[in-house]
Amino acid sequence: MKIFTTIIFSLCMTFASFSQVEEPVKKPLVHPTIMVIPFAKENEQLRTVYEQDDKLHLRVAVTKVKEAFEFHDIPTVDFRAKLKQLANNKIMEIGNQSSIKQQVIELSGADIYVEVESSIIQDESGNSSTVTVTAYDAFSGQILATDVGTTTRFFTHNFERLTEKAVNGFMKKFMYNIQDKFNQIVEEGRTVIVNIGFDENAALDMDSEMENGKLFSDVLENWFDENAYNNYFHIQGVTATKMILDEVRIPVINPKNGRSYRVTQFAAKLRAFLKKQNLEVTRDVVGSNIYITIN
Q: What is the pLDDT of residues 82-117, one digit of tens each?
A: 888 877 765 544 444 446 788 888 888 889 999 999
What pLDDT was estimated at residue 98? 47
What pLDDT was estimated at residue 90? 52
Q: Distances from the Cα of 158 to the Cαs of 45, 132, 164, in angstroms?
A: 27, 19, 10
Q: Distances from the Cα of 233 to the Cαs of 20, 138, 188, 276, in angstroms?
A: 38, 21, 12, 22
Helix (H, G, I), strand (E, B) or coil at 17: helix
pTM recorded for the entire structure: 0.75
What pLDDT was estimated at residue 48? 84
With both helix axes pointing from N to C terminus, report the angle between 79-89 and 97-108 in degrees, rounded to the nearest 10.
110
Q: Could you tell me the maximum CA-CA distance found in the chain, to the nearest angstrom? A: 93
H or E segment to which residue 290 belongs: strand 289-294
pLDDT band at 196 (very low <50, low <70, confident <90, very high): very high
- Could you write out the DSSP letters of every residue in 19-32? HHHHSPPPPPP-PP
Nearest to 111 by CA among 76, 78, 82, 84: 76
What pLDDT was estimated at residue 250? 95
Nearest to 47 by CA among 87, 5, 7: 87
Label residue 150 exposed, middle or buried (CB < 10 Å: 0-12, 13-18, 19+).
Answer: middle
